[in-house]
Structure 1
Amino acid sequence: MNLHSGARTFSVTSPVDGSIYATRSYADGAAIEAAVARARAALPAWRRTPLPERLGILLRFGEEMKARAAPLAEAVAWQIGRPLWQADETPRLALIGELLAGAAPDT
């Protein structure tokens, strides 16, 4: 819930044409606490996961984002008004993952 207005949802207005692009719900305190608790509970297992497996997950995430590049770029374009030819952030996301994966064995 938005503490300032009491609203339980918010809308994303597209600067492209002023239309409502999406309406989303605010997470309440209980939902946030539950998500944090799940993350904390998952951490011990993640720590035990071998580094090569964790790096594989990171790299697969980048590949999956690249596979979804077109709809993600379109969403960015409609939500923030960036030209479609500039809206694809997936190559940069994948590159950061690749650089982190390359540096991880050294840490």
Structure 2
Amino acid sequence: MLAATANPASADSDIILKSSRGYFLYHDDGDMFRVCDTNADGHGVTGVLMENNDNSPVPGYGEVLRVDDGGDSGCDKAGFNVQPSPSYTYQMRFWWNGGGGTLSSVAFRE
């Protein structure tokens, strides 16, 4: 499943992608990304932050952050400074490492 918008949403609150196997959370206050594997099935989950610079000569999203969780207690997290610029658009993607589809957020800006 892939979601996209022509006018990106503003990231002035938390964004969460959730499935029966876990979740990927962006906490805007502090620019923190947290991935949690909530199903002890032998496979972890992965969350990826994609960035698009509208002024780049090469169009499209590129990966700027990857956070994996699974096989240990607790969630994993990492910080990334989401640029407060109208030139940068971001998208979160989340999947279960055992196969299946990818969940994607709408495009957003800081």
- Normalised by the length of structure 2, the TM-score is 0.24
- Structure 1 length-normalised TM: 0.24
Select the structure that is richer in strand: 2
Question: For the pair shown, which has the larger CA radius of gyration, 1 or 2?
Answer: 1
Higher relative contact order (CA 8 A, sep 6+): 2
Higher share in helix: 1
